[in-house]
Amino acid sequence: MLLRPALPVAVSSTLPLISHLAAVRRRCSIAATGMAGVSAASPAAAQIGSFLSKKPYAPPSWASHLALAPSHTFSLGHFPTPIHKWNLPNLPEGTEVWIKRDDLSGMQLSGNKVRKLEFLLSDAVAQGADCVITVGGIQSNHCRATAVAAKYLNLDCYLILRTSKLLVDQDPGLVGNLLVERLLGAHIDLVSKEEYGKIGSVALADLLKNKLLEEGRKPYVIPVGGSNSLGTWGYIEAVRELEQQIQLSGDVQFDDIVVACGSGGTIAGLALGSKLSSLTAKAKGLGYAMNTAEELKFVKDIATATGIVLDPVYSGKGAYAMLKDMADNPSKWKGRKVLFVHTGGLLGLYDKVDQMSSLAGSWRRMDLEESVPRKDGTGKMF
């Protein structure tokens, strides 16, 4: 088959189109920057090889006096994470809720744990570790994130997971976070809740660490939730990111920052950063524990109403507690601008399939008549 040469086009006739496209591109770039802080097309975001790279770290000026500031960090997440208005129903008069989407910091490696791991794993590599150990519940988001990040950096990962006495001697299955961990080849040791309560996470991690040392390995222990003084820098740095986003937006100031509180590292970093920085918002940690049927229904209702899917243990409980307090004490929240930090954890929902089956949306078989004529479309599936 012969290919016809492209017809020549007068340059002068294309100039208006080129000018228009350039203007559109400029507007799109400005809009993309907005509350997100950095345009996706910026050199920093687009630079090949920047993801998973180790880089020197300089603390924010307002945190430079803090002791034991980290010197390096790994680029593990996709930052800055976007902020947008969250159109929640039944808010107190004049109250606005915005949401910072730390659930969008990655896919396999997502949520608030990424920010902590950027500093913790930099320290692990600096110490010459060849594997990491951490501890959590059977559906721990932190353990899954650690397993992913460790594999990215060619480190083996050992997970001590807490489960019930009835299940501790059984195959834990492939649901939710467990599926990702086991696909990655993470080494999983199960302990019962009773054993965990008696021995504690520190002693359990030390026990495994000593065993690995005897085998000639070089393990690095990451505490539950990545929550220690080094991990806290993840959300001190997040406050700097938030400062920059607010400065770029020009017209949004928050009165409160609300986040689900578990092991405490996230709220510690947010509270300290808010105190030291130019932010005037108060950081509040809410909700964490086993979920109730009412809270699971809340997760479903919020997803249906706003399109935001919350996890059942952290952000779901945090948002539930926030809205309940707003309903019970509307005057306390009246007229305030609230930033809710979504800390991720979507995979944890897969462990709640049985409990949520009655809440899920309906389905039906499509009603088709045999006389419907076929119409060809474009593409392989047509």
Classify residue 58 by burial, with Cβ atoms within 10 Å: 0-12, 13-18, 19+. Answer: exposed
Residue of 105, 110, 122, 140 with catalytic role:
140
140 tagged catalytic = yes
**Catalytic (active-site) positions:** 140
